[in-house]
């Protein structure tokens, strides 16, 4: 606030003390009510410098002194009015600044609440993703365990298959060998019967038949001996020949299967 000195001028120290910058009010962070109270208190507490009464000389006119006083009072009132207007303008400016700061604070508070809400949502999503990741890891481990079990089962089945194929090959070879032996036995039997029927010398035919036998057809030798004996016995040759031939045809197949 501006204050007059003895000569009617404004005291610079008091004028500087009375200035309230809007930036200072805004930076101080005072509430709106405190700002108004401080401005009024500042105006009320500003000391008023009373003009020093002038000592009139004996020859000076009192009316002139009164006129000077009136001018001084008018000038002082004008300065007070200007100071009041200045303070009121500063108060209005400070009020506007406070209103703007309040709006900014509300906007910031709204933004902070929105950011907090987003953070909470992000935390929830992260927790959900973490749970889903754990489920996927568990499922992956279970699938890996199942795959390992299936691989072991596959290896075991492969071993069984290889073993079964080996047995099949062995049985096939054995059956082929049995068939070969049966064919040879039947051939020997047929040749023997033919030789015995065509030749009158039974002893010579038996020698030829024995040369045709080998180690694999030894089981049939006894049957051939029976046939030889049957042919040598003229009385029993005809009825025994059919029975012996039938027994000789069935015996090689049974021995081959075994």
Say how far apart CA 2 and CA 85 lie, in whole Å.
11
pLDDT at residue 149, rounded to an integer: 93
Per-residue confidence (pLDDT) for residue 231, from 0 to 100: 60
Neighbours of 239 (CB within 10 A): 10
pLDDT truncated to tens, each residue of the chain (258 aa)?
Answer: 444 444 444 444 444 444 444 444 444 444 555 656 665 566 555 555 554 455 545 555 566 678 888 888 888 888 888 889 999 998 999 899 999 998 999 999 999 999 999 999 999 999 999 999 999 999 999 999 999 999 999 999 999 999 999 999 999 998 888 888 888 877 877 777 777 666 545 444 444 444 444 555 555 666 666 666 666 664 444 455 556 555 655 554 444 444
Nearest to 217 by CA among 258, 169, 178, 170: 178
CB atoms within 10 A of CB 105: 10
Mention every residue, 6+ apart, whose C-beta is less than 8 A from residue 197: none
- The backbone torsions φ and ψ at residue 4, rounded to the nearest 5 degrees and listed phi first, read -80, 145
Q: What length is written for the chain? A: 258
The string of DSSP codes covering 10-77 is BPHHHHHHH---HHHHHHHT--HHHHHHHHHHHHHHSPP-PPPPP---TTS-HHHHHHHHHHHHHHHH
C-alpha dist (Å) from residue 198 to 76, 148, 193, 212, 243:
177, 75, 9, 18, 20
Residue 171 to residues 26, 157, 179, Cα–Cα distance (Å): 108, 21, 12
Nearest to 224, CA basis, from 195, 189, 249: 189
Burial class of residue 65, CB neighbours in 10 A (0-12, 13-18, 19+): middle
């Amino acid at each position: 606030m501006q204050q007059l000195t003895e000569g009617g001028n404004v005291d610079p120290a008091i004028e500087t003390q009375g200035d309230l910058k809007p930036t200072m009010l805004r930076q101080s962070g005072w509430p709106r009510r405190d700002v108004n109270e401080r401005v009024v208190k500042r105006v009320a507490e500003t000391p008023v410098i009373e003009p020093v009464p002038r000592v009139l000389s004996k020859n000076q006119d009192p009316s002139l002194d009164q006129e000077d006083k009136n001018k001084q009072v008018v000038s002082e009132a004008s300065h007070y009015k200007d100071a009041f207007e200045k303070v009121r303008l500063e108060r209005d400016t400070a009020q506007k600044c406070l209103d703007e700061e309040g709006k900014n604070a509300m906007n910031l508070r709204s933004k902070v609440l929105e950011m907090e809400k987003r953070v909470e949502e992000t935390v929830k999503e992260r927790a959900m993703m973490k749970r889903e990741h754990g489920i996927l890891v568990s499922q992956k481990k279970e699938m890996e365990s199942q795959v390992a079990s299936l691989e072991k089962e596959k290896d075991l089945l492969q071993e069984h298959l290889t073993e079964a194929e080996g047995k099949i090959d062995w049985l096939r070879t054995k059956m082929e060998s049995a068939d070969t032996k049966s064919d040879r036995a039947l051939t020997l039997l047929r040749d023997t019967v033919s030789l015995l029927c065509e030749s009158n010398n039974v002893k010579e035919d038996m020698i030829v038949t024995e040369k045709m036998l080998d180690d694999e057809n030894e089981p049939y030798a006894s049957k051939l001996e029976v046939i030889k004996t049957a042919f040598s016995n003229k009385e029993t040759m005809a009825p025994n020949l059919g029975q012996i031939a039938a027994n000789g045809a069935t015996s090689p197949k049974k021995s081959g299967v075994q």
